[in-house]
């Protein structure tokens, strides 16, 4: 168990809908990272927050948004869902803002999103 | 467990043998690289990293080699164990800040008894 929790574990929804994925980082970790893992595109970095502020942005679609709350948990909002958004969504956390062997990331178990 | 990738290249090795997993990266300006391990049904796990000013780094039973000339990274696992069975990804940093990591497609390592 990495100490990072994600809810829900599974989510099934329809095209055009909106969903919210939730992540609670390890105790003491200030950074939260979101990743998407799909069969056709592999693992992709979406976005990072550090202590409530957006720190880095990757291949995140405009239909997607995220935020980190004062208690450091984070939510990833996916709207106008398409079939291609079906994927595993991982959250990771770290103490500091830059991944390294001194600031290791710990990944949650993921949320499996299925868009029908 | 969850399917990470149904058509990943697979490396099969006998238990106790050494494993070498290769990765070609794309950006000649990348200066930081990480190897991740992902077991079935779990999130990726940081294994070892290397910066571009090094060509070799050793951890516990793992060694990463970096060849910047041909943009190639390899992960060597010594005395491979059943618990090493997983998908392994390399990742390179894709921007100056280094958080926008670009991940390789992954290699599935299967350890045979």
Residues of A in contact with B41 (CB under 8 A): 109
Interchain proximity A101–B48, CB inside 8 Å: yes
Condensed to tens digits (0 to 9), the pLDDT of residues A71-89 reads 999 999 999 999 999 999 9
Q: According to the model, what pLDDT value does residue A104 have?
A: 86
Answer yes or no: is pLDDT of A96 > 80: yes
For B67-85, the pLDDT digits (tens) are 999 999 999 999 999 999 9
Q: Kindly list the residues from chain B whose CB atom is less than 8 angstroms away from the CB atom of residue A104.
A: 46
Long-range contacts of A66-74 (CB under 8 A, 24+ apart): A66/A34, A68/A32, A72/A24, A72/A25, A72/A29, A72/A30, A72/A32, A73/A22, A73/A23, A73/A24, A73/A25, A73/A32, A74/A22, A74/A23, A74/A25, A74/A32, A74/A34, A74/A49
Share of chain A above pLDDT 70, in %: 100
Q: Is A18 on the interface with B (CB under 8 A)?
A: no
């Amino acid at each position: 168990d990495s100490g990072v929790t994600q809810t829900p574990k599974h989510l099934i929804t329809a095209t055009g809908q909106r969903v919210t994925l939730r992540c609670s980082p390890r105790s003491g970790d200030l950074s939260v990272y979101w990743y998407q893992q799909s069969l056709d595109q592999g693992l992709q970095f979406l976005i990072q927050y550090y202590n409530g502020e957006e720190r880095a942005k990757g291949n995140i679609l405009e239909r997607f948004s995220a935020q980190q709350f004062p208690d450091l948990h984070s939510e990833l909002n996916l709207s106008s869902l398409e079939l291609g958004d079906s994927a595993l969504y991982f959250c990771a956390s770290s103490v500091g803002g830059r991944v390294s062997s001194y600031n290791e990331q710990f990944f949650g178990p993921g949320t499996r999103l299925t868009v029908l | 467990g969850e399917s990470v990738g149904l058509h990943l290249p697979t490396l099969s090795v006998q238990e106790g043998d050494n494993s070498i997993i290769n990765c070609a990266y794309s950006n000649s300006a990348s200066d930081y690289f990480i190897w991740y391990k992902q077991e079935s049904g779990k999130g990726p796990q940081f294994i070892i990293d290397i910066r571009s000013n090094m060509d070799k780094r050793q951890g516990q039973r793992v060694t990463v080699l970096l060849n910047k000339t041909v943009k190639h990274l390899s992960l060597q696992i010594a005395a491979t164990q059943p618990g090493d069975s997983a998908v392994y990804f390399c990742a390179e940093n894709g921007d100056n800040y280094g958080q926008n990591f670009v991940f390789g497609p992954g290699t599935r390592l299967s350890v045979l008894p």
